[in-house]
């Protein structure tokens, strides 16, 4: 089934959420953004959702001492709106088994590195200190291992000799937005499945991540 209804999980600024909203408003993305969930009440992305008329919820992890309780609550909250696809867009929590089980094959994450390089945090610093000549962002299916699920799509940018983490992040950000929009768009017009670690696009195995071109398409 092609994706029509998406839920977006955020923790902060929500610039990627905004990119999805803008693409939807331009008519470039044929999906309904049905729910935004944040684990921080102060996340600016909640304001973006409100302005766009999108239902939003806050589920503060700090109020759940047990990780498994938070995970179960989160699974229930996501399920209430019955999304076809759940997007972790700057959601800075590891999702646990209750969410993974309930939304298997429907959970994707945006990560600012060329996976499998630099899983986890501080990816810009690590790309520069490793002497990488390229950096980028990846969209992958979420599995139990952090940032290790099958990669659907990537965008690559050069690392310049004078780059510091902030300049690299600033250059990647607009490309990352395009990557997320193009990937969600793909889900809206193709069947993108992930079974036993293998991704198929309309039934055809994807053996390499799709790479975003400079025109914002794959």
The DSSP secondary structure of 91-132, one letter per residue, reads --S---HHHHHHTTTSEEEEESS-TTSS-SS-HHHHHHHTT-
| Identity of the residue, 33 or 110, whose beta carbon is nearer to ligand GRF in the bound complex | 110
The catalytic position among 35, 40, 111, 135 is 111
The least distance separating ligand GRF from the CB of residue 65, rounded to whole angstroms, comes to 25
Instruction: Judge whether 186 and 218 are in contact, CB under 8 Å.
Output: yes
| Identity of the residue, 52 or 79, whose beta carbon is nearer to ligand GRF in the bound complex | 52
Q: What's the burial of 7, exposed, middle or buried (CB within 10 Å: 0-12/13-18/19+)?
A: buried
What 3-state DSSP class applies to 38? strand
Contact pick of 2, 12, 52, 81 for ligand GRF (by CB under 6 A): 12
> Residue 206 interacts with ligand GRF (CB under 6 A)?
no
CB nearest ligand GRF: which residue?
90
* Residue 111 annotated in active site: yes
Residues 157-176 interacting with ligand GRF (rule: CB under 6 A) = 176
**Binding string to ligand GRF for residues 29 to 58, with x set by CB under 6 A, is what?**
----------------x-------------
> Residue 90 interacts with ligand GRF (CB under 6 A)?
yes
What are the tokens at 49? 């959702």
Instruction: Judge whether 12 and 43 are in contact, CB under 8 Å.
Output: yes
Q: What's the Rg (C-alpha) of the chain?
A: 17
Give me the residues that bind ligand GRF (CB under 6 A), please.
10, 12-16, 45, 89-90, 110-112, 137, 176
* Catalytic residue numbers, as ranges: 111
């Amino acid at each position: 089934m092609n994706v029509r209804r998406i839920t977006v999980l955020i923790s902060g600024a929500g610039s990627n959420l905004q990119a999805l909203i803008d693409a939807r408003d331009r008519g470039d993305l044929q999906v309904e953004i049905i729910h935004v969930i944040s684990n921080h009440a102060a996340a600016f992305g909640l304001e973006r959702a409100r302005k766009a008329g999108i239902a939003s919820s806050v589920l503060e992890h700090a109020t759940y001492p047990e990780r498994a309780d938070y995970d179960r609550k989160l699974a229930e909250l996501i399920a209430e709106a019955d999304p076809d696809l759940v997007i972790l867009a700057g959601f800075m929590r590891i999702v646990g088994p209750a969410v993974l089980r309930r939304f298997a094959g429907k959970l994707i994450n945006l990560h600012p590195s060329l996976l499998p390089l630099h899983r986890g945090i501080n990816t810009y610093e690590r790309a520069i200190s490793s002497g990488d000549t390229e950096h980028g962002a990846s969209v992958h299916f979420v599995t139990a291992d952090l940032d290790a699920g099958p990669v659907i799509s990537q965008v690559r940018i050069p690392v310049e000799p004078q780059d510091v983490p902030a300049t690299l992040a600033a250059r990647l950000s607009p490309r990352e937005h395009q990557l997320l929009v193009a990937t969600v768009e793909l889900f809206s017009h193709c069947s993108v499945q992930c079974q036993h670690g293998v991704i198929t696009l309309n039934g055809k195995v994807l053996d390499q991540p799709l790479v975003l071109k400079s025109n914002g398409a794959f």
